[in-house]
Amino acid sequence: MYINIYFSGIFGYVNYLVERTRGEIVNTMLDGMQRLEYRGYDSAGIAIDGDKPNEVLLFKEVGKVAALRKLYENSDTDNKKVFNTHVGIAHTRWATHGQPSPINAHPHRSDPTNEFVVVHNGIITNYREIRALLEGKHFVFETETDTECIAKLAKYVYDLNKHRDLDFTELTKLVLMELQGAYGLLMKSVHYPNEVIATRKGSPLLIGVKTEKKLKVDFVDVEFPEFAEITVDSPMETSNGLLALPQSNGLSNGSLLVPMGDNDLRRSQSRAFVSDDGIPMQIEFFLASDPSAVVEHTKKVLYLMDDDIAHIYDGELHIHRIRREDGQPTIRSIQTLEMELNEIMKGNFDHFMQKEIFEQPDSIINTMRGRVDFEKKTVTLGGLSSYLQTIRRCRRIIMVACGTSYHSCMATRAIFEELSEIPITVELASDFLDRRSPVFRDDTCVFVSQSGETADTMLALQYCIERGALTVGIVNSVGSSISRQTNCGVHINAGPEIGVASTKAYTSQYVALVMMALSLSDDRISKQARRHSIIDGLSKISKQVEEVLALNDRIRAMAETDLINQKSLLLLGRGYQHATALEGALKIKEISYMHSEGVLAGELKHGVLALVDENLPIIVLATHDSLFPKVMSAVEQVIARSGNPILLCNKGENALSKLHKTYRTLEVPATVDCLQGLLNVIPLQLMSYWLAVKKGFDVDFPRNLAKAVTVE
C-alpha cells in the first residue's frame, strides 16, 4: 500500500575546474535543500566524496536540514579539503515506503561501500519484484524503501557488464529499462568519479548552469542512440545483465533492444559547453526538483523532459534518450528564470502563508497585468487567443482540479455558464478518473493547478489528451508539467506560493478563470453590459482586497477569544459563496486541524441543521447578491435553534437589523456578485492563519501535507 501524499526534494551540486572546499560544497548543498523545505519533508541526506579515492560519504538524519547540518558538523570530516571538481547529491525525503529514519532517508546505496548512491522522488511500482530478484542474487537490502532497489540494480548491472566497459549513460539506460513507476533521480558512483546522472519520468528535475564565460548557444542537443537487437539468454537474466523482469521495458518477444556504441555517443559534444579557445570551461551545475533551490546561484536553467537522461562529466552536460521517437524535440533549451530569490523569501512576515495572504492585492493585479484593459473594457489572453473560436464551439467545458484549485473552478462555474452559455462541469480529478467519465473530441478540458504537477490532475490531463479533447491549463508554475502538456492556457502569474495552504494562488486562479469567461463571451453583444460591469469590478478589486486585509486584527482577536477552543466550525454559503464556504473550511482544516465544514446553505434543512445549537460556531457568508434573501432565511433558521452565527456581510448591511438577536459581523466591501468570493475568502484565510498560529502549529508545513501532491 502506498502512502499517497508526497513530495520530496532533490538537489545536486557539481563544480568543474572551480575550486571549492568540502565545507563550501556541503554548505551549498544544505542551503539548496533548505530552499526546498517548504515542500514538506521528514528527513534529509547528502552524499559527497571522501578523502580516499573511490570513497563516498553519506550523512542522513531525521528532521529538518538543520539537524543534518549538525550531524555533519559533529562528524570529523575535513571541511578544508579542496576539490577542483566534485559531485554532491542531496535529498529531503517525505516518507512513502518505510518510516522516517536515518536509514530510510536518501541517498540510498548499492552496498556498504557506497559504490552507487541514488536520490529519488517518485515511486518505483515494481520495486518488490526487483528487490526479490536482487535478494536472490545475494543483495542485502537495508531499508524499506523502493529507491534502494535502483542503487542495487545499478551495481548488479555494472558488475555483470564489467567486461563491456559501459559508460554511466549506458549503464543508466540498462537500469531504467527495468524500472516502472515515476522518478526524478540523481545517481553518483565511485566507478564514474566526478560524474552524475539526472533522469526523470513524471517527477520534475531541472539543471542550473553557471559559467564565467557566456555559453556558446542556449540549448543542449539531445543524443539519440542506434539500437542493436540481442537475444535474451534466460528469462531472468540476459547476456548484458538486464533482469528481464515481467513487463520489463526492455524485453521484446525474446529479444532485447539495447543501445550500442556508447563510445560513439561519448565523442559527441554539446555545443553549449565548447569554449572558443579549446580550454575547458570552468562551470558549476545545480540540479534540483524545483527552481527555488537554484535561483540564488544561476538563472540559466534547463528543464529535463520525461525520459531524458542527463549525464554531466568533464564540465559538459549531455542529454540522452533511450529511444529515438518521431516528432520529439532534438534540443533542450537553456532558459532564463525570471524568479527573484526575494520573491521566495518571507520578507517581514512570520510565515510564508501570511506573506502570501497579504500579497494578494499585488498578485491579483499581476494576474490581470497586460491582459485587462480597464478603459477599453477588453480582456486579451495571449495563451488562449488562437483557441477561443474552438472553445466557443465546444460541446461542453470540463474543469478538472484538486483541493483549492477545484474550489476556484466551483467559484467561477456560474459566471462561465452565464457568459459562455456552454454547459460546464466541475470535476475533482481523482473522482473524474475513478468514474472514467466520458470525454469527447469536441470537449474542452480546463486543468487548474497551482503547482502544475499534481498527479491526479496530470493523470486526468493524460486521460483527456488520449480522448482528443482540447486541453487548457490554468497554472501558476511556469515550465510545470501541466503548463507544458496542455494545448494552450493561462499562467496566473501569482508568483511562487510556498505555504502549503494555498491562498494567493486561489484568488489568482479565480481572476484568471473570470478573465477566461470574459474572453469567451467578448463576441456577444447581449453580454456586453454584464462584461463591462465585471471588468469595472476587477478594476477596483485590488484596493478592496486591501480593505479586507485591514480586518486582520479583528479576526486575530476573534480567533483567539471565540474560536480557538472550539472543536468544529461550520461555514454556510450558497450561489457564488458555496465555493467560498468550501475553501474557507479547507483552509481551517489543513492548518489549524480544527474540524470544519463548508455547507451549501440550501442544504441546511436537509440534515446539517441537526448539528446547530448554542455552542457550534457558524460563519455565514451573507454578502448581498440575488440569493441574499435565501441566505437570510438560513440565518433565521440557525438563530431559531439558538445558534449564534458570525455574519460575513457587506459594509452597512441594513437587512441584518431585522434579526432579533445580537450577532457578530465581519464587514467586507461590496463588488459584483461573481467577484464577491475574492473578497469573502480573505477573512477566512486570515481566520485559519490565526487559529493555527494561536494553537502553535507549523503554519507553512502542516502535518501530513505537502505543497505539491505528485503521487496519485
CA distance 178 to 126: 9
Which of 304, 498 has the CB closer to ligand AGP? Answer: 498
Which of 241, 495 has the CB closer to ligand AGP? Answer: 495
Smallest gap from Cβ 691 to ligand AGP, in A, equals 14
Chain residue whose CB lies nearest ligand AGP:
403
Cα–chain center distance at 309: 22
Set of cell numbers at residue 446:
480546463
Which of 7, 11 has the CB closer to ligand AGP? Answer: 7
Cα dihedral 14, 15, 16, 18 in deg (nearest 10): 180
Phi, psi of 647, rounded to the nearest 5 degrees: -105, 120
Q: In what order do the strands lie in the sheet with 618-622?
A: 595-600, 568-573, 618-622, 646-650, 664-668
Smallest gap from Cβ 530 to ligand AGP, in A, equals 29
Query: Do the Cβ atoms of 411 and 674 come closer than 8 Å?
Result: no
Query: Do the Cβ atoms of 68 and 34 come closer than 8 Å?
Result: no
Q: What angle do CA 359, 360, 363 make, to 5 degrees?
A: 85
The pairs formed by 485-488 with CB atoms below 8 angstroms and a separation of 24 or more are 485/458, 485/461, 486/447, 486/461, 487/387, 488/383, 488/384, 488/386, 488/387
List residues near ligand AGP by CB under 6 A.
Answer: 402-405, 449-451, 454, 457, 500-502, 590, 708-709
Asked if residue 246 has a cis previous peptide bond (ω within 30° of 0), the answer is no
464556504: which residue's cell?
581
Smallest gap from Cβ 293 to ligand AGP, in A, equals 18
Smallest gap from Cβ 594 to ligand AGP, in A, equals 15
Smallest gap from Cβ 590 to ligand AGP, in A, equals 6
Set of cell numbers at residue 294:
537554484
Smallest gap from Cβ 499 to ligand AGP, in A, equals 8
Which of 291, 403 has the CB closer to ligand AGP? Answer: 403
- Of the candidates 405, 481, 406, 464, which has an alpha carbon nearest to the alpha carbon of residue 184? 481
Which of 7, 72 has the CB closer to ligand AGP? Answer: 7
How does DSSP classify residue 623? -
Which of 312, 512 has the CB closer to ligand AGP? Answer: 512
Smallest gap from Cβ 19 to ligand AGP, in A, equals 40
Which of 116, 447 has the CB closer to ligand AGP? Answer: 447
Which of 502, 507 has the CB closer to ligand AGP? Answer: 502
In one-letter notation, the amino acid at residue 16 is Y
Smallest gap from Cβ 480 to ligand AGP, in A, equals 9
- Of the candidates 488, 508, 506, which has an alpha carbon nearest to the alpha carbon of residue 445? 488
Smallest gap from Cβ 447 to ligand AGP, in A, equals 9
Largest CA distance in the chain: 90
621 bridge partner residues: 648
Which of 402, 674 has the CB closer to ligand AGP? Answer: 402
Smallest gap from Cβ 453 to ligand AGP, in A, equals 7
648 bridge partner residues: 621, 666
CA distance 120 to 8: 8
558488475: which residue's cell?
159
Which of 43, 404 has the CB closer to ligand AGP? Answer: 404
Smallest gap from Cβ 492 to ligand AGP, in A, equals 10
Q: In what order do the strands lie in the sheet with 251-252?
A: 226-231, 255-260, 251-252
CA distance 470 to 467: 9
Residues in contact with 174: Cβ distance below 8 Å, sequence separation at least 6, in sequence order: 157, 161, 166, 240, 241, 242, 250, 258
Smallest gap from Cβ 422 to ligand AGP, in A, equals 23
Q: Hey, how many other C-beta atoms are within 10 angstroms of the C-beta on 82?
A: 11
Query: Do the Cβ atoms of 544 and 682 come closer than 8 Å?
Result: no
Which of 110, 502 has the CB closer to ligand AGP? Answer: 502
Which of 260, 339 has the CB closer to ligand AGP? Answer: 339
Set of cell numbers at residue 393:
464551439
